[in-house]
Amino acid sequence: MNSSLEQRKFVVPEVIVGYDAMKLAAQYLKHFSAKKTMIVTDKGVVGQNWFTQILGSLTAQGIDYMIFEDVSSNPKDYEAMLGAELFLAEDCDSLLAVGGGSPMDCAKCISIVSTNGGHILDYIGVDEIRLPGPPLVCIPTTAGTSADVSQFAIITDSHEHIKKAIISKKVVPDLALIDPIPLMTMDLYLTACTGMDALTHAIEAYVSNASSSITDIHALNAIKLVYEFLPLAVKEDRTIETMHQMLLGSMHAGFAFSNASLGAVHALAHSLGGVLDLPHGECNSILLQRLIAVNFDAAPLRYRRIAETIGIQTSGLSDEHVKLNLVEAISNLREIVGIPEAVTMPLPNKDTIASMVTSALTDPCMVTNPKELSYDEVEELYVHLFQKR
């Protein structure tokens, strides 16, 4: 059968995109009959002027709230468990996640445990959640993680120090309010890391063995937008229109990877970021060009299309030549936005590397990678990440 005729599902939340979309949070929570909402965020968000406007709109609608801001940059299992305990103890009936991927993923995990009970790590894997959670509204403050539109929640196992994935349509938010205003206060390096995360989402979704004609459209749109606008987004004089375009790129990437899944870049990044507590987007940036080189021969036509989408001439060139040009283009983008080529920390010991390799090979994202990687290949990739070039 023609692969384009194979059955695929496509799940996305309700989405409102545009200036001041964040101010609709209270109105929609009111539609959900919310009386008290838990706002899941982080300490970097609560001091922003636009955040106080969100709080004011909740008060104006008669919605009580509590703020849960004990979320680290790589959210831990115990943070989600504490959040769920407080959610129930405070008689909350809804969730409003305001932040990047960390608060949004933590809010998803709070939703899971507060409704289904048990421990958050009980739900690792695909479709392990029995009951849907309370209403969840997301306001992303970065353009990259796409947690506001995805079926993924990433949580760090604090015992194993490994990031683990929960994948289920039951963690798809009810509403995403995609507003460029919060992005104007985002740190420039965080902008770079989350933007490269969005590009990685789109590239991995496009070459995924679970891709479809629907996800392809969104993936290619995302690649084009992020590649064009990320260099502008990391400048001090960036405009709100630039950040709006970055949000659109992140949204399209989210639509794509949430339904086509990801690949080896994310599988390796989850272990790397969990063990070393590095920013997720930074891990993806360091890995992306390397995995393109490794995977290219397994999906040459798809990587050629990616190259063409970012303006690389492919006509008359061999696959090897296109691969080198694409790797160089991604490497140049990473350098332009200021992300290092290698991990600047010392190489972990052999036992730690072995644990990382095992975790990466069993990560759900590895299942949809276009090429099956061996233990030795993954180990070599990890070791080379720590070698400065």
Encode pLDDT of 286-330 as tens digits. 999 999 999 999 999 999 999 999 999 999 999 999 999 999 999
pLDDT, position 8:
82
Residues 345-355, mean pLDDT to the nearest whole number: 92
Query: In sequence order, which residues have a C-beta less than 8 Å from that of residue 387 and are 6 or more positions away?
Result: 342
Residues 73-85, mean pLDDT to the nearest whole number: 95
Tell me which amino acid residue 123 is. Answer: Y
Residue 131 has pLDDT above 50, yes or no: yes
Strand order in the sheet with 162-167: 125-126, 162-167, 152-157
Residues 183-193, mean pLDDT to the nearest whole number: 95
pLDDT, position 360:
95
Put simply, whether the predicted model's pTM sits higher than 0.85 gets the answer: yes
Q: Are 155 and 109 in contact (CB under 8 A)?
A: yes
pLDDT, position 4:
65
Compute the distance between CA of residue 1 and CA of residue 5 in angstroms, rounded to an integer: 7
Residue 389 has pLDDT above 80, yes or no: no
pLDDT, position 3:
61
Rg, Å, the chain Cα set: 20
Helices (H) and strands (E) in the chain, counts: 14, 9
> Could you tell me the domains of the chain?
3-183 (3.40.50.1970), 188-385 (1.20.1090.10)
Residue 344 has pLDDT above 90, yes or no: no
Mean confidence (pLDDT) of the chain: 95
- CA torsion 184-187-193-197 (nearest 10°) is -30
Residues 70-88, mean pLDDT to the nearest whole number: 95
pLDDT, position 350:
93
Residue 114 has pLDDT above 70, yes or no: yes
pLDDT in tens, 148-163: 999 999 999 999 888 8
Q: What angle do CA 339, 340, 346 make, to 5 degrees?
A: 135
Residues 127-146, mean pLDDT to the nearest whole number: 96
Residue 387 has pLDDT above 70, yes or no: no
| pLDDT band at residue 276 using 50, 70 and 90 as cut-offs | confident
3-state secondary structure (DSSP) of residue 363: coil
Only one residue has tokens 């063409």, namely 308
Compute the distance between CA of residue 215 and CA of residue 206 in angstroms, rounded to an integer: 7
> For 64, how many CA atoms within 13 A lie in the half-sphere containing its CB?
7
Residue 2 has pLDDT above 80, yes or no: no
Residues 101-108, mean pLDDT to the nearest whole number: 96
Q: What are phi and psi of 202, to 5 degrees?
A: -70, -45
Tell me which amino acid residue 236 is. Answer: E
